[in-house]
Structure 1
Amino acid sequence: MARPNKEIQALLQEYADLILITGGDAFRARAYEKAARAIGGSRADVSQLDEKGLRDIPGVGKSIADKVVEYLRTGEMPEMGEVRERIPSGVRHLVEIPMLGPKKAKILYDDLGISSVPALREAIEQGRLRDLKGFGPKTEENILHGIELLRVAGERIPLNVATELAEEVVAALNEVEGCEKCTWAGSLRRMRETVGDVDILVAARRSEPFMEAFRALPYVAETIAQGEKKTSIRTSTGTQVDLRVVPPGSWGAALIYFTGSKAHNIRLREMAVRRRLKLSEYGLFHAKSGKKIVSETEEEVYARLDLPWIPPTLREDRGEIAAALHDGPRRSGGSRASRGSHEAEKEKESESADEPQQLPELLTESDIKGDLHTHTNLTDGLASLEDMVDAAARRGLLYYAVTDHAPELRMQQMTEEKILAQRERVRELDGKRRKMRLLHGTELNIGPGGDVDWPEDFLRDFDICVASVHSHFNQNRDAQTRRLLRACDNPRIHIIGHPTTRIIGKREGLDVDLDAVFAACARTGTALEINAHPHRLDLHDEHILRAKHHGVKFAVNTDAHSLPDLECLGYGVGMAQRGWLTADQVINTWPLRRLRSFLRTPQP
């Protein structure tokens, strides 16, 4: 995303929030919010577009385009200034608190004069909110929890933001003369859902040219620390990036060390010690003589420890060492003592793991043959059916499902007539874009009692039905569990979408007995979604590991609401890898004939 796009996205989103805080029209606020998302996701640099070019971005109308042009020309948006004068900046910050919202923020300001997060916390501690309509002890508890979520979220970087920044840095450093290798490491390489900072690793014989180029990047706000081997900077958005330059001969050992996790590396170092070796970021050495044995590639370091190469997404000390040992040594030959040590380690590591298993042949993005959860501008998407289909075909998908929202989400204004007209158009486009096959589906809303929007006889004619929770998040654990179990038992529902409903840093997942839901999905043959949108990543890795043991099938979907969203699939694949999934456990890796058979098979 071009940097001016981020600025405009934030501006329009703030204006949408201010409309709601001041009691303005909800549909108008939604239009600005939709335009903010569209501009934020556009590949075009909005600072280079005129009014017509802006209007070519789906979701951006003439009025909003004119305001954006004026802002880019003058640095001001008069309407924004007028509203800002009416609402203190602190109140605008209150809206950022998860589970609070614009309406409650306005009440807090109007009735109690609360205009900052610290003032709100103090008011709760003093019990001053309890006399306000709609504010009770549970609301206070939720707000305090939201304040903590906001604090933690401010310390972590979303996976997509970190990836985008890392790609920019790596691209720039690859252009520096003398660069032999350059990549990112740390928790980003392990595809953690959020990261604390970004780690970049370069292999080169001289470090200073890279340190200079790094400090000179246009988005560097300050240099935190600098040295011969490591330099740390902070970007204009507050993200810390650490650069380390290592000799080419140490690349493999350094990449293992700086990728982590810490617990995984400790396991490797313990294995080295038992072999009278020493492992560090510089290489694998004989402990007594100090002679380097290997260090140039990750594969050779692992192999010298009698291990296969372990994918970064598995390096969390969750049994991957035991699983790797399960397959036996990866080096030819080796002494009898070494082989005996290997067997002893295999037994020791297997005891420490939850259950011995082999390293899986992990799902890859190239395994994915289709996307089974996407939206168009018929509901809350930003692009037309034709544009979404064209973009999916360009990505090489073999099949693609359109699953716009059903009518329970009233803001989407869906009707039977609209969805049937869309189905007709989907049938017309089927197989016409690079022979990609199309499925017509819907995303149903799971109501508070587990019911869904349309009756079973109407749902029978959809190719695929995704069902998701979109409201009533505060039901108690038993009610939430019954709600999802009823959806799993619905014979017309094929996939439970974003199963916990979480939004990273803004909303925690439902309070639900997930093991009961996993068991029900395994029994009924209902797949669970791994939602690839970087704000959701739902299910996350720990839930995937639990669900997998129940025998659940999964679907890695983008839940795309715009053309750029279709490119988020890799984040979902990363989460699936962290959950140890293979391709066969993911239904949208299957050939279309097998998938259609799965979708038609009645539940037991």
Structure 2
Amino acid sequence: MARPNEDVRALLQEYAELLLITGKDAYKARAYEKAARAIGGCHADVSTLDAKGLREIPGVGKSIADKVVEYLRTGSMPAVEEERARIPAGVRRLMEIPALGPKKALTLYEELGVSSVGELREAVEQERLRDLKGFGPRSEENILHGIGLLEASGERIPVHAATELAEEIVAALSAVPGCVDCAWAGSLRRMRETVGDVDVLVAARRSEPFMEAFTALPFVAEVIARGEKKTSVRTAKGTQVDLRVVPPDSWGAALLYFTGSKAHNIRIREMAVRGKLKLSEYGLFHTESGRKIVSRTEEKVYSRLGLPWIPPPLREDRGEIAAGLRDELPQLITERDIRGDLHTHTDLTDGLAPLEDMVAAAAERGLRYYAVTDHAPDLHMQRMTRDKMLAQRERVRALDRTHRGLRLLHGTELNIGPDGEVDWPPEFLADFDVCVASVHSHFGLDRDAQTRRLLAACEHPYVHVIGHPTTRILGKRQSMDADWDAVFAACARTGTALEVNAHPNRLDLTDELVLRARDHGVKFAVDTDAHSVPDLGYLRYGVGVAQRGWLTPEDVITTWPLTRLRHFLRKRAGTRAR
């Protein structure tokens, strides 16, 4: 489950938004936003801190610390409750629509009486927004698209939240006497970016102890249905979790069946039928005699069908069956293969932790190399200068080799401007170890313009990696429109790596685009884009996307030894600078 830090972060962020929507002091709202980010990125569990300890977190003053202590003690923050009472819940829901901020949500409520997403859709369709200051046909189009994004996300759960929940459940049930096996299944096991619910399987001879333990978990708010083989609950955060208890002898078949995908299962059932067999969650059977052949492990079920074991992230009916029959399944990248991270931030710009803390955390995670890539000056709110960047470089060089086995790289995250320009001239960029270039603005340019700016960045002699290439933020901002095949071809030709951004709010590139880029011969960098120490733990989700995109360690430059990586970076810059 989420740490208390995440609960406090969400509450303070909500308070900041409520202050904005009710027209309160914007400076105060920004202070609460900053505190929310700081607490969310704090590596210490805030529930173990007193007011004094909380005030040691950057951006957390006395007033905020006192409110947090009160919330942790009572489960309530009166200041938030007071602001909530001023605005209907439906209006707060409007703020979740991409492209609709607090001020516009308040205008819609005060001028048109709009207090729900449904009422807003109706107002747009009736063209009632056009008479309001700050709105127009383009606003209506953006709002409708934002409503679509919000509804598409629906009740789906981000992969990191689902994973944290599943890990806690599996740990609890694995400790129940009689547990032979326990694992999560479904789309979470396939590492989908969001999941509809969480599926957990237990192999045991008796189901009742597990149903009892499951329904007694502290975060269970409602028992939806309870039976001998399956029980469904809803957590306090609204997530549905389904528990199934199966006989130990059926474990492999059940795990395969409930992992899916549906399309993958249909394919392998068709293979079974052609072999006069029947495959179900209970096992693989002879059709005529009904005799069970195999069921204990997934490997044995696949083997009896003439297939190698297929890793769950590949089970989407995207050619994995045919590849298995040809013995051509990729040796997928794993988290253990990752040697380094080429995209991270510190509190010099918009990160939450100082350089020394980020480096120490990277060393603790066993990375072999680690790049610090704070923002360049075109993101003006970060107030970066050459002097600041050069001073940081000296600090990075001083810290290099202070942690055994870890080498440090000094880099920067450049902003790709609307014409493809980047922040600093080539002669300054030449002295960085690595340059990540990303789009941070002008998301509404047309397809041709977006393609041109990305192609220009790929051609730049000192751009090594394109960061979060599509710019999407899950549930909030759609991917920008570009000719991705042209971009992928340019990356392959110029030797520009594409990032698989591991932050669960981004997961960018998507697995579908990774597959397409891979076919062009592109190399990739799986990076965390970490802005805090806990963010470094998100690496696993980037690896999951890479696995779903069929990537091997050879495809990913952050698995390479540092010597090979440095050669890749130097060769690329040297070739294109001529």
Classify the TM-score, shorter chain: over 0.9
1:562 aligns to 2:513 (yes or no): no
Per-residue CA distance 1:5-39 (angstroms, 9 max, x = gap): 33322210012213333455655434322322333
Distance 1:558 1:393 in 2: 15
**Larger mean Cα displacement after TM superposition, 78-87 or 556-565:** 78-87
Q: Which residue of 2 aligns with 1:575?
A: 545
Structure 1's 41 and 204: CA in aligned 2 closer, same or farther, altered over 3 A?
farther
Asked if 1:400 corresponds to 2:370, the answer is yes
Number of the residue aligned with 1:348: none
Q: Out of 265-274 and 386-395, give the one that drifted further.
A: 265-274
CA contact (8 A) 1:449 1:483 kept: yes
Give the corresponding residue for 1:586. 556
Amino acid at match of 2:172: A
Q: Look up the match of 1:521.
A: 491
Describe the shift of the 1:7–1:163 C-alpha distance in structure 2 as closer, same or farther (beyond 3 A): same
Check conservation: 2:43, 2:533, Cα contact below 8 A. no
Aligned twin of 2:180: 180
What's the TM-score once normalised by structure 2's chain length? 0.96
* 1:337 aligned residue: none
9-18 or 425-434, which deviates more: 9-18
Q: Counterpart amino acid of 2:307? A: L
Q: For residue 519 of structure 2, what is the aligned residue in structure 1?
A: 549
In structure 1, give the amino acid aligned to 2:186. Answer: G
Gaps of 5+ in 1: 328-357
Asked if residue 53 in structure 1 is aligned to residue 53 in structure 2, the reply is yes
Structure 2 Cα separation of the partners of residues 534 and 208 of structure 1 = 36
1:36-92 Cα distance to aligned partner (Å, 9 max, x none): 233334454433320122234454344422221233345554544554455444332
Q: Deviations over 1:549-573 (max 9, x none)?
A: 1111100000001111100101000
User: What is the CA deviation profile of residues 199-241 of structure 1, one whole-angstrom value per residue up to 9, with x for unaligned ones?
Assistant: 0000001011101111111111111111111111111111110
Distance in 1 between residues matched to 2:44 and 2:367, nearest whole Å = 24
Q: 1:77 to 1:212 in 2, by over 3 A?
A: closer
1:453 aligns with 2:423: yes
For each residue in 1:374-428, what CA deviation from the matched residue of structure 2 results, as whole angstroms up to 9, or x when unmatched?
0011111111100000000000000000001111112212121111111110000
1:344 corresponds to which residue?
none
Q: How far did residue 526 of structure 1 move?
A: 0.7
Q: 1:62 to 1:491 in 2, by over 3 A?
A: farther
Deviation larger for 451-460 or 543-552: 451-460
Alignment of 1:503-518 (within 5 A): 503-518=473-488
CA–CA distance in 1 between the matches of 2:287 and 2:182? 29
| Equivalent residue, structure 1, for 2:271 | 271
Identity of counterpart residues, as a percentage?
A: 76
Matched with 1:439 is 409
Give the gaps of 5 or more residues in structure 2.
none
Q: How far 1:141 sits from its partner (Å)?
A: 1.3
SS in structure 2 of the partner of residue 199 of structure 1: strand
Q: Name the counterpart of 1:371.
A: 341
1:386 to 334, 356, 365: 356
Matched, 1:17 2:17: yes
Aligned to 2:108: 108
Letter in 1 for 2:116: S
Which segment is superposed worse, 449-458 or 381-390?
Answer: 449-458
Match of 2:448 in 1: 478
Q: Call closer, same or farther: CA 1:262–1:554 in 2, change over 3 Å.
A: same
Paired with 2:408 and 2:456, the residues of 1 have a C-alpha distance of 28
Equivalent residue number for residue 163 of structure 1:
163
Matches within 5 A, 1:199-348: 199-327=199-327
Give the Cα separation in 1 of the matches to 2:62 and 2:427: 42
2:41 and 2:352 in contact (8 A); partners too? no
Aligned partners of 2:41 and 2:534 also within 8 Å: yes
- Which amino acid letter does the alignment assign opposite residue 326 of structure 1? R
Q: Which moved more, 1:471-480 or 1:117-126?
A: 117-126
Q: Do the aligned partners of 1:448 and 1:472 also contact (CA within 8 Å) in 2?
A: yes
Deviation at 1:315, TM superposition (A): 0.6
Is it true that 1:411 corresponds to 2:411 in the alignment?
Answer: no
2:394 aligns with one of 388, 405, 424: 424
Q: SS of the residue aligned with 2:288?
A: coil
Question: What is residue 198 of structure 1 aligned with on the other side?
Answer: 198
Q: What SS does the corresponding residue of 2:154 show, helix, strand or coil?
A: helix
Name which of structure 1's ranges 20-29 and 516-525 shifts more when overlaid on structure 2: 20-29
Q: Residue 170 and residue 42 in structure 1: after superposition, are their counterparts in 2 closer, same or farther (change >3 A)?
A: farther
Q: For 1:564 and 1:38, how far apart are their aligned partners in 2?
A: 11
**Does the CA-based 8 Å contact 2:468-2:499 persist in structure 1?**
yes
- Does 2:50 correspond to 1:33? no
Partner of 1:494: 464
Q: Is the 8 A contact 2:99 2:142 kept in 1?
A: yes
Provide Cα deviations, 1:473-519, integer angstroms capped at 9, x if missing partner.
11111111111111111111110000001111111100111111111
CA shift for structure 1 position 523: 1.1
Conserved in 2, the CA contact under 8 Å of 1:34 and 1:382?
Answer: no
Matched residue type, 1:60: V
1:532–1:572 CA contact under 8 A, matched in 2: yes
Q: How many Å separate the matches in 2 of 1:407 and 1:460? A: 17
Instruction: Tell me whether 216-225 or 396-405 shows the greater mean CA deviation.
Output: 216-225
1:107 deviation in Å? 3.0
User: Which string of whole-angstrom CA distances, capped at 9 and with x for unpartnered residues, describes residues 448-479 of structure 1?
Assistant: 11111122221111111101111111111111
Q: 1:554 to 1:479 in 2, by over 3 A?
A: same
Hey, what's the Cα distance between the residues in 2 that align with 1:42 and 1:404?
19
**2:140 matches 1:140:** yes
Per the normalisation by structure 1, the TM-score is: 0.92
In 2, Cα distance between equivalents of 1:407 and 1:554: 26
Identify if the C-alpha distance between structure 1 residues 75 and 239 changes in structure 2 by more than 3 Å, giving closer, same or farther: closer
Distance 1:373 1:3 in 2: 25
Three-state SS of the structure 2 residue aligned to 1:506 is: coil
Q: Is the contact between residue 358 and residue 533 of structure 2 (CA under 8 Å) also seen in structure 1?
A: yes
The aligned amino acid for 1:8 is V
Count of residue pairs the alignment pairs up: 574
**More displaced stretch, 32-41 vs 294-303:** 32-41
**Distance across 2 between alignment mates of 1:116 and 1:306:** 54
Secondary structure of 1:249's partner?
helix
In structure 2, relative to structure 1, the CA distance for the partners of 1:305 and 1:77 (3 Å cut) is: closer
Aligned: 1:95 with 2:65: no
Residue identity opposite 1:10 in structure 2: A
Are residues 31 and 489 of structure 1, via their aligned partners in 2, closer, same or farther at CA, if it must alter by over 3 Å?
farther
Q: In the aligned structure 1, how far is the partner of 2:546 from the partner of 2:496? A: 17
Bigger mean CA offset, 585-594 vs 143-152: 143-152
1:321 is displaced (CA, Å) by 0.7
Deviations 1:81-104 (A, max 9, x none): 554455444332221111212232
Equivalent position SS for 2:344: coil
Matched-pair contact (CA < 8 Å) for 1:2–1:43? no
**1:428 alignment partner AA:** A
State how far apart, in whole Å, the 2-side matches of 1:296 and 1:81 are: 53
**Equivalent position of 1:7 in the other structure:** 7
How far 1:110 sits from its partner (Å)?
4.1
Q: Is the CA contact 2:2–2:161 (under 8 Å) kept in the aligned structure 1?
A: no
After TM superposition, the structure 1 stretch with the greater mean CA deviation from structure 2, 90-99 or 557-566, is 90-99
Rounded Cα–Cα distance in structure 1 between residues aligned with 2:3 and 2:464: 40
Instruction: For 1:226 and 1:33, locate their aligned partners in 2 and report how far apart those are by CA, in whole Å.
Output: 42
SS at match of 2:130: coil
Q: Distance in 1 between matches of 2:176 and 2:507?
A: 35
The one-letter code of the counterpart of 1:395 is R
